[in-house]
Copies of this chain bind each other. A is one copy, B any other.
Amino acid sequence: MIKQPITIKDIARSLGLSFSTVSRALKGSYKISDATQQLVKEYAEKHNYRPNLMAQSLKNKKSRCLGIALSSIPNNFYAEVISGIESAAYNKDYLVMITQNDESYEREIKNLENLSWRSVDGLLLSLSGGTADIAHIQRLHEHGLPIVLFDRVTDAINTHRVIADNKGGAFNVTTHLLKRGFRHIAHITGAPGLSITKERLQGYMDALRARQMPVHEHYIKYCQACGNDIPETENAIRELLALETPPDALLVGSDRLTMRCFSVLHEQGIHIPGQMALAGFSNFSSPELLSPSLTTIRQSAFEMGKIAAELLIDLIERKRPLTTFETRILPTHLCIRNSTAAPLPASGTTGTPGTLPARSPGSGIYN
């Protein structure tokens, strides 16, 4: 019933040649006459020969597979990254295996183990929120597995990195909020150990200090689950609102968390931006349709995936191992909308629907 695929041996038998001759003819050149090559190739074509990738992999120790490990596939940002990876991989004839860990350290370990067993040729990795240490990654890396880190990275592994300009993005949006007149800007962000958390926090603090504003510890809230745990997010916001001087603006540091905060404020009947301005890192496709339209810091997610995959493939196919690696920093885009409209009575909070075209290559713009 199931027609077994044709193999090199079948071709060799049918044509009265040896395995090796057929193999070499198929690969072009070496020392096979044009006539024979022609013959073999035509026969293979006609009988729809496909090399058995498992056998090739076993022999060559190459699978032409890339592994991805990240926290959550349905996250807007990561979904776009994956799309970029798939696209680059397709162009270079690689296939992509995907795993997600739901911010769990244990799950990350298992996923990486699975991927490396299954002998992916290389790994695209964004750390989980719960990752305590990175010995498991270092082990793989030392054993020779090419790795490219993206988004949530670590310095402890000497390899390529592709990240967004998180510090710059946070700096720009915080400055924007300050210019708009907000004076009590809180920062809700993801798991404290993550590089993106630290970088965004740094940008936030830098912007405050640049304008001689104090940085208050109690205005900074970490959400270990990065927005996947609803009560956790609600608590963070509740605590902020319960402060003696509640914040008048919220900067959210993580894709899913941003929408979650929006939801919570909405549910609690808190007017945005009247009672609380809101801005956040988000790759949601249509922030201009929200009510109010949402000021976002947008990342070049697709491009991040594409670049990371290209760097990884380069790493895999390179003859001599690299010793010096690069860190690509992709610009973020500040898109100013109504959720951060000025708090002063003067300017109406309902004006200018939709996106103000506030996008500049590289850094964002504040007006």
Contacting B at CB under 8 A, from A31-60, are 50-55, 57-58
Please encode chain A, from 85 to 128, with 1 for each CB lying within 8 Å of some chain B CB and 0 for all others: 01000100101111110000000000100110111000000000
Q: How many residues of A contact B (CB 8 A)?
A: 57
Contacts of A51 in B (CB 8 A): 117
User: Within the oligomer, what is the number of copies of this chain?
Assistant: 2
Q: How far is the CA of A133 from the CA of B78 in the complex (A)?
A: 32
Contacts of A61 in B (CB 8 A): 54
Given contacts A288-B266, A354-B267, contact A83 B90 (CB under 8 A): no
Chain B CB within 8 A of A143 CB? yes
Given contacts A73-B83, A290-B289, A354-B266, contact A95 B114 (CB under 8 A): yes
B65 touches A73 (CB 8 A): no
Contacts of A99 in B (CB 8 A): 86, 90, 95-96
The secondary-structure label for the interface of chain A is mixed
Q: How far is the CA of A143 from the CA of B3 in the complex (A)?
A: 6
Please encode chain A, from 64 to 79, with 1 for each CB lying within 8 Å of some chain B CB and 0 for all others: 1100000011101001
18 inter-chain pairs at a CB distance below 8 angstroms, sorted by A residue, are A2-B143, A3-B144, A5-B143, A54-B63, A55-B58, A64-B118, A74-B76, A74-B80, A86-B99, A93-B114, A95-B97, A95-B115, A95-B118, A96-B97, A96-B98, A266-B288, A266-B353, A291-B291
Known pairs A53-B119, A93-B114, A259-B289; list 15 more (Cβ under 8 Å). A3-B144, A51-B117, A54-B54, A54-B119, A73-B79, A82-B98, A95-B99, A95-B118, A96-B98, A96-B99, A259-B285, A259-B286, A289-B290, A289-B291, A290-B290
Interchain residue pairs A-B with the least CB separation, the first 3: A291-B291, A2-B144, A74-B79
